[in-house]
């Protein structure tokens, strides 16, 4: 894959609007479509680069992330962006398939499925899910799953999928997509002495009906958060559990509260 800048690939300025980005992509997709460039491997490489550039720049969130990387790392932004994005990440949510179908209807070219199978081989596949009154479909990329630790098959990353998409994928493939657990938050109430000295603190985690012993660091301050790794919501499908964050509230005697209020007023 070319290491060029995505804006350079599409031939648009960095402040180009979404309409300009799409028009540039339509023009280049027509120019490099494999049905117009048979026997020209360079055209196929350009088409794949154009597809990737459009998939990123047409997605506001991906575009913002890419722009931020450019500001920090300049010409190496592309390689840094791609190091954390799989093919599935790149093309998730893209309307590239619609653009290809428009060209197929207008010029008799092969459609999206045929072209992407040619470009990406067995790593690319489509799916459909039908029920009475409901239809859904899309495409996913295979190959080694970047985030897996046990050689799992490639699946769409959880952050790109909603509950419905995960349900559909599980019905089709029989594989439950790993989903990390949510973080939990709570407040613990300490006396002045407990905050100064630190030490063990008995805490009951209602969400899991568990008794925990929390180690309070000496000199903890009001509003400070203590993190208990892995004590948040459980993950699903092999996902990691979230964390528990305990916000410290220091119980002060009434006289100390009055003195603090007076001191705060004097500072104003």
Nearest partner of 142 among 150, 152, 153, 151, judged by Cα: 153
Is the Cβ–Cβ distance between 122 and 142 less than 8 Å? yes
| Location of structure tokens 């209807």 | 105
Contacts of 49 (CB under 8 A, 6+ apart): 1, 2, 4, 9
Residues 104-131: what's their mean pLDDT?
67
Contacts of 145 (CB under 8 A, 6+ apart): 152, 153, 154, 155
pLDDT of 198-218, one tens digit each? 999 999 998 888 899 999 999
pLDDT of 149-186, one tens digit each? 322 333 444 444 455 555 555 555 555 556 778 889 99
Tokens of 48: 């794949």
Q: Which residue segments constitute the domains of the chain, with CATH numbers given?
A: 6-173 (1.10.287.110), 184-267 (2.60.260.20)
Q: Is the pTM of this model over 0.75?
A: no
Residue 114 above 80 pLDDT? no
């Amino acid at each position: 894959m070319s290491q060029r800048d995505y804006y350079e690939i599409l031939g648009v300025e960095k402040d180009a609007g979404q309409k300009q980005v799409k028009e540039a992509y339509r023009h280049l997709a027509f120019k490099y479509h494999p049905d117009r460039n048979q026997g020209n491997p360079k055209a196929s490489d350009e088409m794949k680069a154009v597809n990737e550039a459009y998939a990123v720049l047409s997605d506001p969130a991906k575009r913002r992330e890419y722009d931020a990387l450019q500001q920090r790392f300049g010409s190496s932004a592309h390689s840094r962006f791609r190091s954390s994005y799989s093919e599935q990440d790149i093309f998730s949510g893209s309307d590239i398939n619609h653009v290809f179908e428009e060209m197929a209807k207008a010029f008799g070219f092969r459609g999206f499925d045929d072209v992407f199978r040619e470009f990406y081989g067995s790593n690319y596949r489509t799916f459909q899910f039908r029920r009475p009154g409901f239809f859904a479909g899309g495409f996913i990329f295979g190959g080694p799953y970047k985030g897996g630790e046990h050689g799992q098959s490639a699946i769409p990353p959880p952050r790109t999928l909603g509950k419905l998409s995960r349900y559909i994928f599980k019905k089709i493939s029989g594989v439950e997509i790993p989903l990390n657990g949510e973080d939990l938050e709570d407040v613990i109430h300490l006396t002045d002495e407990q905050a100064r000295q630190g030490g063990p603190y008995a805490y009951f985690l209602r969400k899991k009906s568990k008794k925990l012993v929390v180690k309070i660091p000496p000199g903890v301050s009001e509003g400070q958060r203590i993190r208990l790794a892995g004590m948040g919501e459980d993950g699903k499908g092999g996902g990691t559990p979230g964390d528990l964050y305990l916000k410290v509230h220091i119980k002060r005697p009434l006289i100390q509260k009055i003195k603090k209020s007076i001191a705060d007023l004097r500072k104003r």
